Structure 1
Amino acid sequence: MSRVLIVDDHPVIRLAVKLLLNQLSHEIVAESDNGVEAVQVARDLRPDLVILDIDIPKLDGLEVIKRLKAIDLSMRILILTSHSANQFAMRCLSAGALGFVTKGEKLDELEYAIKAVLNGYQHIPRELTISVQAYKPETEEDKIEKLSNREMAVLRLIAKGMTNKEIGDDLMLSNKTISTYKSRLMEKLEAETTLDLAEFAKRNKLD
């Protein structure tokens, strides 16, 4: 039995999903109708699976995926949405979701998706199977391989908690140059802050 969080702003959809989960003997730890609350509940309760709609208020589904992955990489996410698979499935998978089901599908399709995702398998719409079979999400190792030697050096020093001036002195570069390297690192590693860069480096034992 797995612990599940349902996130959808339509009560009827939440009810249908809840009934299916009860039939499958899963524990529903909470329900939410908006993205901000969903992230907080997920942080507090740490469910095994989050069944998430994309079009939800306060914080959209794609941003929720990003924040949930930052909280706990083992938390599995299954998208259940009315949006087109052609336009959103790959985007959601790239963001970190493990499965994608459209609301127009029958409930047994959702049941199959839940089982697949909980077992660590990717579940995608049938019409996208061929194209996604060749798709491999970029890993953190892939991102590291794309860094230049100088970018790696700057990243390692950031992880040590050094300031721009200290890094510049160490590498004999100007503050402006170090700032440029930081901007490149944030873009390549999809980081928003210097702290994100430091955590990335430590997570991959680059410090």
Structure 2
Amino acid sequence: MGDRRRARGECRRRRAAVRGLCARVRQCDARRLRAGAGVGAAFGTADGRRRGPRPALDGRRGVPPDAPARGHGGGPVRSCLIADDHALVRDALAATVAARWPDAEILQASDFPTAWSAAARAPDLCLADLDMPGAAPVEGVEALRAAAPAMKILVVTGSFDDAMMLDLLARGVHGFAPKSLSADVIGAAIALVLAGGRYLPQRLAEMQMPERHFAPAPPPRLLTERQLEVARLMARGQTNKDIARSLGIAPATIKTHVAQVIALTGAANRTEAAMRATALGLL
């Protein structure tokens, strides 16, 4: 009876995570429409119609060979593999990557065998779910590592098993992000992983460092001067609007900086982020 309740609870959590990501896709589409680009500019033709069925694996963004790579923290991303068996989740993650690294080639896979084939192309980054057809989670991720040893792997999933995550960390995975996170926080988690850090749920970080109150944080250089300014004002208890007035920038920009500070310090919320930054001597 207990196993059945746990299974039902897990199903509800996964459905909630997928609904959240679907809502983010709709928000991204709405922003593109307001900007005049149209939904089709991201996933189809200019008038919003799709160019026929999309394969499970594709190079989403065709950019000129001589186009410079651009990004926002953590270094450039030339190509990114997104592996998830839900198309809406893949689209939401692709929109997050494209917003930060517009020149990155996006590869998609809906199962582990397709992901292994794509990994042979040695992308810089892989955003992978754990529960996909074709292999068990640990075996599937281990094969991804074998196919592209230099590729950074951030697991984006709605299912968390502490023992499995510790096992995957020992096998070289670079972090875990819940599907319930906002696009800004997932983007900051990607930047942290690309910069050589690890993005971990708080409880997992505490399991790795049982004698320390705070989980390991990235070196201070990963926080920009603007992020440090925002973190200092967060530590004083200022709201996003207060910080925006103090620094003379838009509240929406402050919201993004706050999300990045939270992610880069490995915190669960703004209060904890300020505490960690203070304890680590960043402020």
The TM-score, its normalising length taken from structure 2, stands at 0.44
Structure-2 change in CA distance of 1:51 and 1:70 (3 Å): same
Shift in Å at residue 69 of structure 1? Answer: 2.0
What does 1:4-15 correspond to in 2, within 5 Å? 4-15=80-91
Compared with structure 1, are the counterparts of its residues 89 and 109 closer, same or farther at alpha carbon in structure 2 (3 Å cutoff)? farther
Q: How much does 1:108 deviate?
A: 2.5
Contact 2:142 2:171 in 1 (8 A): yes
Which residue number corresponds to residue 28 of structure 1?
A: 105
Q: What is the SS of the residue equivalent to 1:31?
A: strand
Provide the rounded CA distance (Å) in 2 between the counterparts of 1:22 and 1:42. Answer: 19
Q: For structure 1, list consecutive stretches of 5 or more residues without a partner in the other structure.
A: 135-207
2:182 alignment partner in structure 1: 106
Q: State how far apart, in whole Å, the 1-side matches of 2:81 and 2:105 are.
A: 6
Show the counterpart of 1:58: 134
Q: What is the distance in 2 between the residues matched to 1:49 and 1:92?
A: 16
- Determine helix, strand or coil for the equivalent of 2:101: coil
Residue of structure 1 in register with 2:119 after alignment: 42
Taking the aligned partners of 1:98 and 1:132, their CA distance within structure 2 comes to 14
Preserved contact between residue 7 and residue 51 of structure 1 (Cα < 8 Å): yes
Name the counterpart of 1:153.
none
Amino acid at match of 1:36: P
- Name the aligned partner's letter for residue 117 of structure 2: Q
Cα offset, 1:24, TM superposition: 0.5
Residue equivalent to 1:72: 148
CA shift for structure 1 position 64: 2.4
* Structure 1 position 77, deviation (Å): 0.5
Give SS of 1:101's match: strand
Match of residue 165 from structure 1? none
Q: Which of 89, 92, 116 in structure 1 is aligned with 2:192?
A: 116
1:53 positional shift: 0.3
1:1-207 aligned within 5 A = 1-2=76-77, 3-26=79-102, 27-43=104-120, 45-84=121-160, 86-133=162-209
Residue segments in structure 2 that go unaligned for 5+ positions in a row: 1-75, 211-283
- TM-superposed CA distance for 1:85, in Å, is 5.2
Deviation string, structure 1 residues 141-195 (Cα, Å, up to 9, x no partner): xxxxxxxxxxxxxxxxxxxxxxxxxxxxxxxxxxxxxxxxxxxxxxxxxxxxxxx
Distance (whole Å) between structure 2 residues aligned to residue 96 and residue 5 of structure 1: 17
**What letter corresponds to residue 120 of structure 1 in structure 2?**
G
Kindly indicate which of the two structures has a greater share of residues assigned to helix: 1
Which letter does structure 2 place at the counterpart of 1:88?
Answer: M
The 8 Å contact of residues 130 and 141 in structure 2, kept in 1 or not, is answered as no
SS at match of 1:51: strand
CA distance in 1, matches of 2:129, 2:135: 11
Cα distance in 2 for partners of 1:56, 1:31 equals 13
Structure 1 vs Structure 2 CA RMSD: 2.0
Residues 127/32 of structure 1: CA separation in 2 closer, same or farther (3 Å cut): same
Q: Contact conserved, 2:122 with 2:150, CA < 8 A, in 1?
A: no
1: CA distance between counterparts of 2:123 and 2:137? 17
Which one is further off, 29-38 or 67-76?
67-76
> Using the alignment, how far apart are the partners of 1:92 and 1:71 within structure 2?
16
Quick one: structure 1 residues 110 and 87, their matched pair in 2 at CA, closer, same or farther if it must change by over 3 Å? Answer: farther
- Partner SS state of residue 154, structure 2: strand
Q: 1:87 to 1:72 in 2, by over 3 A?
A: same
Contact 2:119 2:148 in 1 (8 A): no
C-alpha distance in structure 2 between counterparts of 1:119 and 1:85, whole Å: 26
